[in-house]
């Protein structure tokens, strides 16, 4: 008999806590649909008390998703729990996840509470959450640095109060696999009512051990893992969903549990998250990196040709890598376009949105003969992000880059609908173009990151650019895609300016 390992995805909540990774409501719904298609068991959609935007996004995900449980995060406070309950109303299956810190340093320095007060508040929170749903998760935050006796005490009490999942977070990524596994084992064996709840883990990657710690916990009885696509998350990130799922699946000789995940949806979902957040996947990233299944050395290539299992422990197609498929061209019609988009899991809220995206497709097909699935996906990412709040818009540009000459950019943009012209020199064409924008807008932002990724292969591929800007401590990412890299860069810069100009009042759950 193999147990079920519950996959709890927190890309939309902890993933969104990565600086610059904030997502719009539409973007969250698109990612949630992709997670549902992948058969993720629980989707943590956000922290509704953080802001009106977060509330709306959780509500939209709760209404849209039918096959996965939708979860909302709440501190152990009445108002947080009630807001989470409201946001989840109407969900096919809902869960409230409430938490309070239990480590000495957090209780004393952050909460200014005694251990007895923490226990009391945890119990009260779980009871209140049970009024909204019978599916309640409790996390003792910073459990990885909490005292074992105290953890046992709190957990026993919250299970009695009605918690059905107990999640053990290594909030600061401090644990190491052997010790974290032992912690889970001790909790499950020592807590008298442990059998009434599912034990879960939530590991951060500060020491690069999030996946190893999670898997060690699974070997010691944890039956839920909290993880994110591409390992996105606060600071160094969370355990990567794709690595957990494929670790358990590939090593069935070691794990006595299985997930229900459709692994062929891993790569498309990874790409979707990367293009929406602008967080590129490093080429050597396990499972979803561009080189994850590429063999460079002659000896390896020779071995794989003779028998793929000589050097491959997984098949690329099993995790959703397929040869780039040329799906459409310049002569494809609207119906074919819509059908292919549906096959990719992309639907349109309105005829207007379909028409706008179809128009972009036609523009792209004029510039690029072969349109791949990835190109189609980038069209949607673009049309949704641009529809957020387009204060800055590129009208035209001219960039000169010539051997021995200083690069110069001249461009026309609209700012709130009013045309403005900028001109600047720079150390390269992109630098000149960004300076030309700044000569118009003087945004007082600081460029923190500039990265270019090729969406497909070939020199006619679209370049997908991410620009990260910072102003007054606030960090945003902007994206742009185009067959011309300088144009993609300008679009990404303007998109980042749009995002940083939008008001944001948002509480962080753990502060």
Contact residues for ligand KIV (CB under 6 A)? 14, 99, 139, 141, 167, 169, 171, 202, 204, 509
Is the CB of 167 or the CB of 259 nearer to Zn ion?
A: 167
Q: CB–CB of 407/432 below 8 Å? A: yes
Comparison of 169 and 181: residue with beta carbon closer to ligand KIV = 169
Q: Which does 445 bind (CB under 5 to 8 A by kind): Zn ion, ligand KIV, none?
A: none
Q: How far is CA 277 from CA 25, 79, 158, 466, in A?
A: 13, 30, 36, 9
- What is the nearest approach in angstroms of ligand KIV to the Cβ of residue 196? 20
Residue 404 CB coordination number (10 Å): 4
Please say which residue, 119 or 436, places its beta carbon nearer to ligand KIV: 119
The Cα-based distances of 392 to 335, 421, 422, 500 in angstroms read: 32, 12, 13, 11
Residue 122 CB contacts under 8 Å (≥ 6 apart), including other chains: 76, 98, 100, 138, 140, 154, 157, 158, 161
CA–centroid distance for 343 within its chain: 22
Q: Give 127 or 145: the residue with its C-beta nearer to ligand KIV.
A: 145
Token representation of residue 215: 């898997």
**Contact assessment for residue 452 and residue 489, using Cβ atoms and an 8 Å cutoff:** yes
Q: At its nearest, how many Å lie between Zn ion and the CB of residue 106?
A: 13
- Smallest separation, CB 79 to ligand KIV (Å): 17
Q: Rounded to whole angstroms, what are the CA distances from 205 to 32, 175, 380?
A: 23, 10, 31
Q: Binding partner of residue 99 among ligand KIV, Zn ion, none, CB under 5 to 8 Å per kind?
A: ligand KIV
Which listed range, 8-16, 35-43, 130-138, 427-435, lies at the site for Zn ion (CB under 5 A)?
Answer: 8-16
Size, binding site for Zn ion by CB under 5 A = 1
| Complex with ligand KIV: residue 171 or 489, whichever CB lies closer | 171
Q: Are 225 and 218 in contact (CB under 8 A)?
A: yes
Whether the CB-CB separation of 228 and 203 falls below 8 Å is answered with no
User: Shortest gap between Cβ of 510 and Zn ion (angstroms)?
Assistant: 8
The least distance separating ligand KIV from the CB of residue 139, rounded to whole angstroms, comes to 4
> Strands (DSSP E) along 171-270, which ranges?
198-203, 224-227, 257-258
Which tokens sit at 3?
A: 């147990």
Question: By C-beta, is 169 or 247 nearer to ligand KIV?
Answer: 169
Q: Binding mask 236-265 vs Zn ion (x if CB under 5 A, - otherwise)?
A: ------------------------------
Query: Which string of DSSP letters, residue by residue, matches 376-423?
Result: HHHHHHHHHHHTT---EEEEEEEEE--TTS--EEEEEEEETTEEEEEE
Smallest distance, ligand KIV to C-beta of residue 73, A: 6
Among 40, 13, 49, smallest CA distance to 233 is for: 13
Quick one: 26 or 226, whose CB is closer to ligand KIV?
A: 226
Q: Cα–Cα distance between 476 and 470 in angstroms, integer?
A: 7
Q: Is the Cβ of residue 422 or residue 509 nearer to ligand KIV in the bound state?
A: 509
Give the range of 13-21, 139-147, 392-400, 479-487 binding Zn ion by CB under 5 A. Answer: 13-21
Q: How far apart are CA 313 and CA 492, in angstroms?
A: 38
Nearer to ligand KIV, 99 or 174 (CB): 99
Instruction: Out of 6, 13, 14, 34, point to the residue binding Zn ion (CB under 5 A).
Output: 14
Contact 425, 407 (CB under 8 A): yes
Q: How far is the CB of 74 from ligand KIV (least distance, A)?
A: 10
386 binds, among ligand KIV, Zn ion, none (CB under 5 to 8 A by kind): none
Q: How far is the CB of 324 from ligand KIV (least distance, A)?
A: 36
Nearer of residues 167 and 453 to ligand KIV, judged by Cβ: 167
Cα angle for residues 11, 52, 509 (degrees, 5° grid): 50
Residue number closest to Zn ion, CB atom = 14
Q: Is 9 in the site for Zn ion (CB under 5 A)?
A: no
**CB closer to ligand KIV, 232 vs 341:** 232
The CA–CA distances, whole Å, from 464 to 280, 401, 407, 412 equal: 9, 21, 22, 22
Give φ, ψ of 327 to 5 degrees.
Answer: -105, -30
φ/ψ of 191, rounded to 5, equals -80, 120
Residue closer to ligand KIV (CB basis): 49 or 384: 49
**Shortest approach of ligand KIV to residue 228 CB, angstroms?**
11
374 binds, among ligand KIV, Zn ion, none (CB under 5 to 8 A by kind): none
Beta carbon of residue 171, minimum distance to ligand KIV (angstroms, whole number):
3
CB of 12 to Zn ion, least distance (A): 13
Sheet with 463-471, side-by-side order of all strands: 446-454, 463-471, 474-482
CB of 264 to ligand KIV, least distance (A): 29
Query: Which chain residues interact with Zn ion by CB under 5 A?
Result: 14
């Amino acid at each position: 008999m193999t147990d079920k390992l519950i996959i709890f995805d927190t890309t939309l909540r902890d993933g969104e806590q990565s600086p610059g990774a904030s997502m719009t409501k539409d973007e969250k719904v698109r990612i949630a649909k992709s997670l549902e298609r992948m058969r993720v068991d629980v989707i943590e959609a956000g922290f509704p008390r953080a802001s009106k935007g977060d509330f709306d996004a959780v509500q939209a995900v709760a209404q849209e998703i039918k096959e996965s449980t939708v979860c909302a995060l709440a501190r152990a406070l009445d108002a947080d729990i009630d807001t989470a309950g409201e946001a989840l109303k109407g969900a096919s299956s809902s869960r409230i996840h409430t938490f309070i810190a239990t480590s000495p340093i957090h209780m004393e320095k952050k909460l200014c509470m005694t251990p007895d007060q923490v226990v009391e508040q945890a119990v009260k929170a779980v009871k209140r959450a049970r009024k909204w749903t019978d599916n309640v998760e409790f996390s003792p935050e910073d459990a990885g640095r909490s005292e074992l006796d105290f953890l046992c005490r709190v957990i026993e009490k919250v299970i009695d109060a009605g918690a059905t999942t107990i999640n053990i977070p290594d909030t600061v990524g401090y644990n190491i696999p052997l010790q974290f596994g032992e912690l889970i084992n001790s909790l499950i064996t020592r807590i008298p009512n442990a059998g009434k709840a599912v034990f879960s883990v939530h590991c951060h990657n500060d020491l690069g051990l999030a996946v190893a710690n999670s898997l060690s916990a699974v070997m010691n009885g944890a039956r839920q893992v909290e993880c994110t696509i591409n390992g996105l998350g606060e600071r160094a990130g969370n355990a990567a969903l794709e690595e957990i799922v494929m670790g358990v699946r590939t090593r069935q000789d070691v794990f006595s549990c299985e997930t229900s995940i459709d692994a062929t949806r891993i790569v498309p979902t990874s790409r979707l998250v990367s293009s929406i957040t602008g967080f590129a996947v490093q080429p050597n990233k396990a499972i979803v990196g561009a080189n994850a299944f590429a063999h460079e050395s002659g000896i390896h290539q020779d071995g794989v040709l003779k028998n793929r299992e000589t050097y491959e422990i997984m098949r690329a197609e099993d995790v959703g890598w397929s040869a780039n498929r040329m799906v459409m061209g310049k002569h494809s019609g609207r119906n074919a376009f819509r059908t292919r988009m549906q096959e990719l899991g992309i639907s349109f809220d309105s005829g207007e949105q379909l028409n706008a995206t179809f128009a972009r497709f036609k523009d792209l097909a004029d510039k690029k003969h072969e349109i791949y699935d990835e190109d189609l996906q980038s069209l949607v990412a673009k049309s949704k992000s641009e529809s957020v709040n387009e204060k800055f818009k590129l009208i035209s540009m001219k960039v000169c880059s010539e051997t021995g000459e200083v690069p110069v950019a001249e461009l026309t943009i609209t700012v709130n609908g009013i045309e403005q012209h900028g001109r600047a020199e720079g150390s390269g064409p992109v630098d000149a173009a960004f300076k030309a924008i700044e000569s118009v807008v003087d945004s007082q932002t600081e460029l923190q990151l500039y990265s270019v990724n090729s969406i497909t292969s070939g020199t006619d591929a679209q370049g997908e650019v991410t620009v990260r800007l910072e102003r007054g401590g606030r960090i945003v990412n902007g994206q742009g895609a185009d067959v011309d890299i300088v144009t993609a860069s300008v679009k990404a810069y303007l998109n980042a300016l749009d995002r940083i100009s939008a008001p944001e009042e948002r509480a962080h759950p753990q502060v």
